A and B are shown apart, each in its own frame.
Chain A
């Protein structure tokens, strides 16, 4: 019951933030402030929800897919809040918040806010947390790429209203997107390594979900390598980052449910 009381305010606040960001993009002003407060309050409510789950659970409460999705949404919004509080990065929420709201809703539908968890394996918990943090970073990088493409389009169209909205410079978005992918890849690498150790200790077998994680690692690793070796910058880099992210969104659920 307590979890429900925290879930609905969190979902409502994320939904409000999504709508307010859409409004802010059309007419900047009060909507932007309402949006960022929606994000903050929603994140606080979800933090409360996660704490409640952690206190009530006997083991790691986010081991299942729905629970993991709940934690993942929290990490995505948390990562956004690091930049989102700055006015120039505020519009990143236009891409991030609808995703976070949708993920939280799916997590709820899948029972991710109710489950009490069963396993108390610290190694596994750390593995899951690192994997989710890595994916949260990739989601943020995708949002940065989306913002890049949108802002670049405005500059290419020579929109007279270009200064009405505060958006980071294209090169800042490009650089930040690549850095976010690099850091997330590092976190994912640690997560995969811990998963490997856990697998070796448990004596388990390599499955499709692990294959999916490795595919994601290869996808983003290849992206970073191409950026370093070739002229993959700007629009092409943003598109490539988005293509890899879409592939991740397709591959991860498929491999997870196949394993």
Chain B
């Protein structure tokens, strides 16, 4: 069984090309089913960064051509136009690639978390057989292993994620934590959604114009406020996220100091995403108050990304080991039928010879017959032990198929069927 991968990804193809070949889950499932005919297997993985078709069949050539043709058809371009962006990988290289994809090593942001779920969904929607089933299961295992044994996916990789993760450094779980948004623009919206996804509650939205505040507040089920309501709200919320276009600080040290007194020791976390800044930087000096501005958050993200790249080296080693295991498994599939045939032939000869000698053995007692039976079985096993071990060893090298063919030829395995 030969494995092949034909695909397009962010590494070589711009978004204009990737969006042409992108498929939804139903489309991926249909394409997989269309390709997986005549004993072939196919799984189509399509995300915003890649569309990859994994196929497996006995010869591997024809189905690979059909997969490439499918991508050509999806793109609506001539195959020569698509060719520079297209990559084709085979067997071990294809497996290693999928393992790297599952571990997030081939993603734009190393270690990004979504891809593992996307690989699982593609596998479940695809039409895998023995080879692709094993490949995708092992890819999911490799992806999980890379994430649990390294810190590749732990630190935040974007400013909103960093803001939310820093809030967690202060409060632990954000479940039920109340958030005040100051400014009703797109930046607030994005950052708020990240906090929301971690269990926080958007309690109120303050803006210079109340209409905009009301509009955003309605989306989050929050209370709209004017900017004059911020001071009072500071006493009730845990996280403040500011992103107004105001040239002057909207939140001053005096206002925060007064709020902290009323909070009786409960800490306050302020995230200032605005330029010019909305929160007086002196606020950070107050006990129980933590202020991060856009530069601080970007520094955290930069450090996180470099940390992820460092961890990526360890994750690469993990996926390489898994790819090697897959290669061994794939290679063993070449020799396992030969070993099984050899053993079956030997057993057939042994049983046949015992049957021929039945007349002479009939005089033996039941106990003696069992000894003869065990003795012949032992001789056969001992004779076949070393060839079996050698074939399994050869299976992990390129010689596996040669050995299997040689054994079939020498022992005439399968000749009687011809």
| Interface of A toward B, CB cutoff 8 Å | 151, 155-156, 158, 160-164, 167-172, 230-237
**Shortest CB distance B308–A (Å):** 10
Whether, in the assembled complex, B402 has its beta carbon less than 8 Å from a beta carbon of chain A, the answer is no
Q: Are A236 and B168 in contact (CB under 8 A)?
A: no
Which residues of B sit under 8 angstroms from A162, Cβ to Cβ?
166, 169, 300
Whether, in the assembled complex, B406 has its beta carbon less than 8 Å from a beta carbon of chain A, the answer is no
Q: Are A233 and B266 in contact (CB under 8 A)?
A: yes
**How many angstroms from the CA of A233 to the CA of B263 in the assembled complex?**
11
Which residues of B sit under 8 angstroms from A172, Cβ to Cβ?
172
- Could you show 29 A-B contacts with beta carbons less than 8 Å apart? A155-B170, A155-B290, A156-B290, A158-B292, A158-B296, A158-B299, A160-B296, A161-B303, A162-B300, A163-B154, A163-B303, A163-B304, A164-B155, A167-B169, A168-B172, A169-B168, A169-B169, A169-B170, A169-B172, A170-B267, A230-B264, A231-B263, A231-B264, A233-B264, A233-B288, A234-B267, A234-B288, A235-B288, A237-B265
**Shortest CB distance A163–B (Å):** 4
**Shortest CB distance B277–A (Å):** 14
Whether, in the assembled complex, B302 has its beta carbon less than 8 Å from a beta carbon of chain A, the answer is yes
**Shortest CB distance A86–B (Å):** 13
**Shortest CB distance A85–B (Å):** 16
**How many angstroms from the CA of A230 to the CA of B264 in the assembled complex?**
7
Q: Are B302 and A235 in contact (CB under 8 A)?
A: no
Please count the residue pairs between chain A and chain B whose beta carbons lie under 8 angstroms apart in the complex: 65
Q: Which of B168, B169, B171, B303 contacts A160 (CB 8 A)?
A: B303
Q: Which of A167, A168, A169, A231 contacts B265 (CB 8 A)?
A: A231
**How many angstroms from the CA of A171 to the CA of B303 in the assembled complex?**
24
**How many angstroms from the CA of A233 to the CA of B287 in the assembled complex?**
10
Whether, in the assembled complex, B10 has its beta carbon less than 8 Å from a beta carbon of chain A, the answer is no
Which residues B46-85 have CB closer than 8 A to chain A? Answer: none
Which residues of A sit under 8 angstroms from B170, Cβ to Cβ?
155, 169-171
The list of the 8 closest CB pairs from A to B, nearest first, reads A233-B265, A169-B172, A231-B265, A163-B155, A160-B303, A231-B264, A160-B299, A172-B172
Which residues of B sit under 8 angstroms from A155, Cβ to Cβ?
166, 169-170, 290
Query: Provided the pairs A169-B169, A232-B265, A233-B266 are in contact, do residues A164 and B287 lie with their beta carbons within 8 angstroms?
Result: no
